[in-house]
Amino acid sequence: MGDMRKDYVSERFMIVSKNKKSVDGKKNPFAPGNESLTNPSVLSLVEKDGMLQRLQDSEDDFVEGWSIRVFESKNPVVTVETENSYSEKPFYSEPNYGYHYVIVASPNTKDTFSTISPEQWSNVLVVVQDRLRWLYTQKGVTYVSIYGDNGELAGSTNPHPHLNILTLSTIPPVIDAEAEASHKILNEKGVCHMCQTINEELSGPRQILQTDGFIAFSPWAPSYPYEFWIAPKKHTTSFSKITQKEINDLSLILRATLGGLTKTIKNVPYNLVFHLSPEKKNTRQIHWHIEIYPITKPWSGLERGYGIFLNDVSPEDAAEKLGIACRKELANLVGIL
Protein backbone atom coordinates (compact mmCIF):
# COMPACT_ATOMS: atom_id res chain seq x y z
CA MET A 1 0.00 0.00 0.00
CA GLY A 2 0.99 3.62 -0.44
CA ASP A 3 0.32 6.58 1.82
CA MET A 4 -2.19 9.39 2.30
CA ARG A 5 -0.81 12.73 1.12
CA LYS A 6 -2.10 16.22 1.89
CA ASP A 7 -2.07 19.15 -0.51
CA TYR A 8 0.60 21.82 0.04
CA VAL A 9 -1.85 24.28 1.63
CA SER A 10 -5.48 23.10 1.36
CA GLU A 11 -7.28 20.38 3.29
CA ARG A 12 -7.29 18.08 0.27
CA PHE A 13 -6.03 14.54 0.66
CA MET A 14 -5.14 11.94 -1.92
CA ILE A 15 -4.20 8.31 -1.47
CA VAL A 16 -1.30 6.67 -3.22
CA SER A 17 -2.29 3.06 -3.76
CA LYS A 18 0.32 0.63 -5.04
CA ASN A 19 -2.04 -2.31 -5.33
CA LYS A 20 -2.31 -3.82 -8.77
CA LYS A 21 -5.85 -4.92 -9.57
CA SER A 22 -5.87 -8.24 -11.35
CA VAL A 23 -9.32 -9.38 -12.45
CA ASP A 24 -9.91 -12.59 -14.36
CA GLY A 25 -12.19 -11.50 -17.20
CA LYS A 26 -13.79 -14.95 -17.35
CA LYS A 27 -14.64 -15.12 -13.65
CA ASN A 28 -16.54 -12.58 -11.60
CA PRO A 29 -15.12 -12.82 -8.05
CA PHE A 30 -18.41 -11.53 -6.61
CA ALA A 31 -20.56 -14.18 -8.27
CA PRO A 32 -21.76 -17.35 -6.48
CA GLY A 33 -19.34 -20.21 -6.99
CA ASN A 34 -16.31 -17.91 -7.13
CA GLU A 35 -16.04 -17.25 -3.39
CA SER A 36 -12.46 -18.53 -3.35
CA LEU A 37 -11.42 -15.54 -5.49
CA THR A 38 -12.13 -13.14 -2.62
CA ASN A 39 -11.15 -13.07 1.01
CA PRO A 40 -13.31 -15.30 3.24
CA SER A 41 -16.62 -13.72 4.19
CA VAL A 42 -17.04 -12.27 7.66
CA LEU A 43 -20.78 -12.44 7.05
CA SER A 44 -22.92 -14.37 4.58
CA LEU A 45 -26.70 -14.05 4.80
CA VAL A 46 -28.49 -17.24 3.79
CA GLU A 47 -32.26 -17.57 3.58
CA LYS A 48 -33.62 -20.75 5.12
CA ASP A 49 -37.24 -21.51 6.08
CA GLY A 50 -38.18 -17.89 5.55
CA MET A 51 -35.46 -16.65 7.89
CA LEU A 52 -32.02 -15.14 7.24
CA GLN A 53 -29.13 -17.01 8.81
CA ARG A 54 -25.91 -15.16 9.60
CA LEU A 55 -22.99 -17.40 8.60
CA GLN A 56 -19.37 -16.91 7.59
CA ASP A 57 -16.73 -18.73 5.59
CA SER A 58 -14.17 -20.93 7.29
CA GLU A 59 -10.65 -21.36 5.95
CA ASP A 60 -11.52 -23.99 3.33
CA ASP A 61 -15.30 -24.01 3.45
CA PHE A 62 -17.30 -21.29 1.68
CA VAL A 63 -20.93 -20.57 2.48
CA GLU A 64 -23.23 -21.36 -0.44
CA GLY A 65 -26.67 -20.05 -1.29
CA TRP A 66 -25.99 -16.59 0.14
CA SER A 67 -28.06 -13.51 -0.64
CA ILE A 68 -25.56 -10.93 0.72
CA ARG A 69 -21.85 -11.44 1.32
CA VAL A 70 -19.34 -9.27 3.23
CA PHE A 71 -15.56 -9.65 3.10
CA GLU A 72 -12.36 -7.65 3.33
CA SER A 73 -11.33 -6.21 -0.02
CA LYS A 74 -8.45 -7.90 -1.83
CA ASN A 75 -7.53 -4.53 -3.31
CA PRO A 76 -8.01 -2.26 -0.28
CA VAL A 77 -7.79 1.50 -0.53
CA VAL A 78 -6.64 1.51 3.10
CA THR A 79 -5.12 -1.21 5.25
CA VAL A 80 -4.33 -1.99 8.89
CA GLU A 81 -0.98 -3.38 7.74
CA THR A 82 0.37 0.00 6.65
CA GLU A 83 3.69 1.26 7.96
CA ASN A 84 3.59 3.93 10.68
CA SER A 85 5.32 6.65 8.70
CA TYR A 86 4.69 10.40 8.69
CA SER A 87 6.35 13.22 6.80
CA GLU A 88 6.33 16.95 7.49
CA LYS A 89 4.97 19.92 5.51
CA PRO A 90 5.09 20.94 2.75
CA PHE A 91 5.23 17.25 1.79
CA TYR A 92 2.88 16.01 4.49
CA SER A 93 1.79 12.39 4.45
CA GLU A 94 0.43 9.96 7.00
CA PRO A 95 -0.14 6.21 7.22
CA ASN A 96 -2.86 4.92 4.94
CA TYR A 97 -4.46 3.12 7.89
CA GLY A 98 -7.94 1.63 7.88
CA TYR A 99 -10.32 -1.20 7.09
CA HIS A 100 -11.90 -1.80 3.68
CA TYR A 101 -14.88 -4.15 3.35
CA VAL A 102 -17.04 -5.04 0.35
CA ILE A 103 -20.75 -5.76 0.68
CA VAL A 104 -22.03 -7.73 -2.32
CA ALA A 105 -25.66 -6.65 -2.52
CA SER A 106 -27.05 -9.53 -4.58
CA PRO A 107 -25.98 -12.98 -5.81
CA ASN A 108 -27.45 -12.21 -9.25
CA THR A 109 -24.74 -11.05 -11.66
CA LYS A 110 -27.31 -9.20 -13.79
CA ASP A 111 -28.67 -7.14 -10.89
CA THR A 112 -27.88 -3.47 -10.33
CA PHE A 113 -28.64 -1.08 -7.48
CA SER A 114 -31.73 -0.07 -9.46
CA THR A 115 -33.12 -3.59 -9.94
CA ILE A 116 -32.65 -5.34 -6.59
CA SER A 117 -35.87 -5.42 -4.56
CA PRO A 118 -36.70 -3.07 -1.67
CA GLU A 119 -36.59 -6.11 0.64
CA GLN A 120 -33.06 -6.87 -0.52
CA TRP A 121 -32.09 -3.23 -0.05
CA SER A 122 -33.44 -3.45 3.53
CA ASN A 123 -31.20 -6.43 4.24
CA VAL A 124 -28.23 -4.64 2.70
CA LEU A 125 -28.80 -1.56 4.87
CA VAL A 126 -29.09 -3.69 8.02
CA VAL A 127 -25.72 -5.23 7.14
CA VAL A 128 -24.30 -1.73 6.58
CA GLN A 129 -25.56 -0.74 10.04
CA ASP A 130 -23.95 -3.78 11.67
CA ARG A 131 -20.61 -3.23 9.99
CA LEU A 132 -20.72 0.49 10.80
CA ARG A 133 -21.26 -0.20 14.50
CA TRP A 134 -18.46 -2.76 14.63
CA LEU A 135 -15.95 -0.58 12.80
CA TYR A 136 -16.47 2.31 15.22
CA THR A 137 -15.33 0.03 18.04
CA GLN A 138 -11.96 -0.52 16.35
CA LYS A 139 -8.80 1.37 17.21
CA GLY A 140 -7.70 4.10 14.81
CA VAL A 141 -11.12 4.54 13.20
CA THR A 142 -12.22 8.19 13.09
CA TYR A 143 -14.67 8.02 10.20
CA VAL A 144 -16.47 5.27 8.27
CA SER A 145 -17.21 6.05 4.61
CA ILE A 146 -19.82 4.13 2.62
CA TYR A 147 -20.24 4.40 -1.13
CA GLY A 148 -21.27 2.51 -4.24
CA ASP A 149 -20.11 2.98 -7.83
CA ASN A 150 -22.27 2.04 -10.81
CA GLY A 151 -20.54 1.94 -14.20
CA GLU A 152 -16.94 2.33 -15.33
CA LEU A 153 -17.12 6.13 -15.62
CA ALA A 154 -18.21 6.19 -11.98
CA GLY A 155 -15.13 4.21 -10.95
CA SER A 156 -16.57 0.69 -10.80
CA THR A 157 -14.21 -2.14 -11.75
CA ASN A 158 -16.92 -4.79 -11.28
CA PRO A 159 -20.51 -4.35 -12.53
CA HIS A 160 -21.85 -6.69 -9.84
CA PRO A 161 -23.75 -4.43 -7.37
CA HIS A 162 -21.66 -3.86 -4.25
CA LEU A 163 -20.95 -1.22 -1.63
CA ASN A 164 -17.55 -0.25 -0.28
CA ILE A 165 -17.13 0.47 3.41
CA LEU A 166 -13.76 1.88 4.36
CA THR A 167 -12.50 3.66 7.43
CA LEU A 168 -10.30 6.72 7.70
CA SER A 169 -8.10 7.99 10.51
CA THR A 170 -9.30 11.57 9.85
CA ILE A 171 -12.68 13.08 8.98
CA PRO A 172 -12.86 13.56 5.18
CA PRO A 173 -12.55 17.24 4.12
CA VAL A 174 -16.02 17.31 2.51
CA ILE A 175 -17.71 15.94 5.64
CA ASP A 176 -15.58 18.16 7.88
CA ALA A 177 -16.56 21.28 5.92
CA GLU A 178 -20.23 20.26 5.94
CA ALA A 179 -20.11 19.61 9.69
CA GLU A 180 -18.35 22.93 10.34
CA ALA A 181 -20.92 24.88 8.30
CA SER A 182 -23.83 23.03 9.93
CA HIS A 183 -22.43 23.69 13.39
CA LYS A 184 -22.00 27.40 12.61
CA ILE A 185 -25.60 27.78 11.37
CA LEU A 186 -26.91 25.84 14.37
CA ASN A 187 -25.05 28.18 16.74
CA GLU A 188 -26.10 31.35 14.92
CA LYS A 189 -29.72 30.52 14.05
CA GLY A 190 -30.56 27.66 16.41
CA VAL A 191 -31.72 25.45 13.56
CA CYS A 192 -30.32 22.52 11.58
CA HIS A 193 -29.70 23.76 8.04
CA MET A 194 -30.76 20.40 6.54
CA CYS A 195 -34.04 20.44 8.46
CA GLN A 196 -34.61 23.96 7.14
CA THR A 197 -33.75 22.82 3.61
CA ILE A 198 -36.10 19.84 3.80
CA ASN A 199 -38.99 22.02 5.00
CA GLU A 200 -38.46 24.28 1.99
CA GLU A 201 -38.07 21.41 -0.51
CA LEU A 202 -41.09 19.37 0.67
CA SER A 203 -43.47 21.27 -1.58
CA GLY A 204 -40.95 23.00 -3.82
CA PRO A 205 -40.05 22.54 -7.50
CA ARG A 206 -37.00 20.40 -6.71
CA GLN A 207 -38.87 17.71 -4.79
CA ILE A 208 -38.66 14.35 -6.59
CA LEU A 209 -40.34 11.81 -4.31
CA GLN A 210 -41.50 11.39 -0.72
CA THR A 211 -42.30 8.50 1.59
CA ASP A 212 -43.50 8.70 5.19
CA GLY A 213 -40.04 9.36 6.56
CA PHE A 214 -37.83 10.41 3.65
CA ILE A 215 -37.62 12.93 0.84
CA ALA A 216 -35.64 12.80 -2.41
CA PHE A 217 -34.87 16.16 -3.98
CA SER A 218 -32.54 17.86 -6.43
CA PRO A 219 -30.27 20.23 -4.48
CA TRP A 220 -30.39 23.97 -5.19
CA ALA A 221 -26.78 24.05 -6.47
CA PRO A 222 -25.90 20.57 -7.77
CA SER A 223 -22.43 19.64 -8.99
CA TYR A 224 -23.86 17.17 -11.51
CA PRO A 225 -26.89 17.21 -13.83
CA TYR A 226 -29.68 15.09 -12.28
CA GLU A 227 -27.89 14.91 -8.94
CA PHE A 228 -30.29 14.19 -6.08
CA TRP A 229 -30.20 13.64 -2.33
CA ILE A 230 -32.25 11.39 -0.06
CA ALA A 231 -32.69 12.62 3.51
CA PRO A 232 -34.77 11.68 6.55
CA LYS A 233 -37.50 14.25 7.18
CA LYS A 234 -36.98 14.26 10.92
CA HIS A 235 -33.72 15.49 12.43
CA THR A 236 -31.32 12.63 12.97
CA THR A 237 -27.53 12.47 12.98
CA SER A 238 -26.93 8.73 13.41
CA PHE A 239 -27.61 6.27 10.60
CA SER A 240 -26.66 3.34 12.85
CA LYS A 241 -29.59 4.11 15.17
CA ILE A 242 -32.46 4.24 12.66
CA THR A 243 -35.16 1.61 13.18
CA GLN A 244 -36.13 -1.32 10.99
CA LYS A 245 -39.27 0.57 9.94
CA GLU A 246 -37.12 3.52 8.84
CA ILE A 247 -34.75 1.17 7.00
CA ASN A 248 -37.68 -0.34 5.09
CA ASP A 249 -38.91 3.15 4.20
CA LEU A 250 -35.42 4.23 3.08
CA SER A 251 -35.06 1.07 1.00
CA LEU A 252 -38.29 1.82 -0.84
CA ILE A 253 -37.38 5.40 -1.78
CA LEU A 254 -33.79 4.41 -2.60
CA ARG A 255 -34.93 1.66 -4.96
CA ALA A 256 -37.65 3.83 -6.53
CA THR A 257 -35.34 6.80 -7.19
CA LEU A 258 -32.48 4.72 -8.57
CA GLY A 259 -34.97 2.91 -10.78
CA GLY A 260 -36.42 6.25 -11.88
CA LEU A 261 -32.94 7.61 -12.61
CA THR A 262 -32.05 4.69 -14.88
CA LYS A 263 -35.42 5.02 -16.63
CA THR A 264 -34.76 8.74 -17.21
CA ILE A 265 -31.16 8.32 -18.42
CA LYS A 266 -30.40 4.90 -19.90
CA ASN A 267 -27.21 3.17 -18.71
CA VAL A 268 -26.17 6.20 -16.66
CA PRO A 269 -23.07 5.74 -14.48
CA TYR A 270 -23.46 7.16 -10.98
CA ASN A 271 -21.98 7.26 -7.50
CA LEU A 272 -24.03 6.66 -4.39
CA VAL A 273 -22.46 8.20 -1.27
CA PHE A 274 -23.54 8.20 2.37
CA HIS A 275 -22.92 11.52 4.16
CA LEU A 276 -22.87 10.46 7.81
CA SER A 277 -21.79 12.01 11.08
CA PRO A 278 -18.77 10.52 12.84
CA GLU A 279 -20.27 8.02 15.31
CA LYS A 280 -17.60 8.70 17.91
CA LYS A 281 -18.04 11.67 20.25
CA ASN A 282 -17.99 14.82 18.17
CA THR A 283 -19.83 18.10 18.68
CA ARG A 284 -20.02 18.78 14.95
CA GLN A 285 -22.72 16.46 13.67
CA ILE A 286 -24.61 16.51 10.38
CA HIS A 287 -28.17 15.55 9.45
CA TRP A 288 -27.21 12.35 7.64
CA HIS A 289 -28.31 11.77 4.05
CA ILE A 290 -27.39 9.97 0.84
CA GLU A 291 -26.17 11.79 -2.27
CA ILE A 292 -26.36 10.34 -5.81
CA TYR A 293 -24.11 11.79 -8.52
CA PRO A 294 -25.03 10.78 -12.10
CA ILE A 295 -22.09 11.07 -14.53
CA THR A 296 -23.65 12.51 -17.69
CA LYS A 297 -20.77 14.59 -19.09
CA PRO A 298 -17.05 15.21 -18.53
CA TRP A 299 -15.93 18.11 -16.36
CA SER A 300 -14.45 21.22 -17.92
CA GLY A 301 -11.41 23.19 -16.82
CA LEU A 302 -13.69 25.56 -14.89
CA GLU A 303 -14.93 22.66 -12.80
CA ARG A 304 -11.64 20.82 -12.34
CA GLY A 305 -9.48 23.89 -11.92
CA TYR A 306 -11.74 26.27 -10.01
CA GLY A 307 -14.53 24.22 -8.45
CA ILE A 308 -17.25 26.17 -10.28
CA PHE A 309 -19.71 23.74 -11.83
CA LEU A 310 -21.44 24.05 -15.19
CA ASN A 311 -24.86 22.43 -15.39
CA ASP A 312 -26.76 22.09 -18.66
CA VAL A 313 -29.90 20.89 -16.84
CA SER A 314 -31.45 23.00 -14.09
CA PRO A 315 -32.22 21.13 -10.85
CA GLU A 316 -35.88 22.14 -11.28
CA ASP A 317 -36.09 20.51 -14.73
CA ALA A 318 -34.17 17.47 -13.49
CA ALA A 319 -36.53 17.10 -10.53
CA GLU A 320 -39.58 17.27 -12.80
CA LYS A 321 -38.27 14.54 -15.11
CA LEU A 322 -36.99 12.36 -12.29
CA GLY A 323 -40.19 12.85 -10.31
CA ILE A 324 -42.36 11.47 -13.11
CA ALA A 325 -40.16 8.39 -13.54
CA CYS A 326 -39.69 7.81 -9.81
CA ARG A 327 -43.39 8.04 -8.99
CA LYS A 328 -44.12 5.43 -11.67
CA GLU A 329 -41.37 3.24 -10.24
CA LEU A 330 -42.75 3.63 -6.72
CA ALA A 331 -46.27 2.78 -7.87
CA ASN A 332 -44.98 -0.41 -9.51
CA LEU A 333 -43.02 -1.38 -6.41
CA VAL A 334 -45.92 -0.77 -4.04
CA GLY A 335 -48.14 -2.83 -6.34
CA ILE A 336 -45.68 -5.72 -6.10
CA LEU A 337 -45.24 -5.53 -2.32
Kindly list the catalytic residues: 162
Q: Are 128 and 163 in contact (CB under 8 A)?
A: yes
Q: Helix axis angle, 193-201 relative to 173-189, nearest 10°?
A: 90
- Report which residue type is found at 236: T
3-state secondary structure of 213: coil
For residue 216, the cross-strand partners are 209, 230
> In angstroms, how far is CA 259 from the centroid of its own chain?
16
Listed in sequence order, the residues at least 6 apart from 131 whose beta carbon sits closer than 8 Å to its beta carbon are 43, 70, 101, 103, 165
CA atoms of 113 and 161, how far apart (whole Å): 6
Among 201, 323, 314, smallest CA distance to 257 is for 323
Alpha-carbon distances, residue 54 vs 41, 181, 269, 306, 334 (angstroms): 11, 40, 32, 48, 28
Query: CA-to-CA distance for 136 and 165, rounded, in angstroms?
Result: 12
Interatomic CA distance for residues 95 and 207, integer angstroms: 42
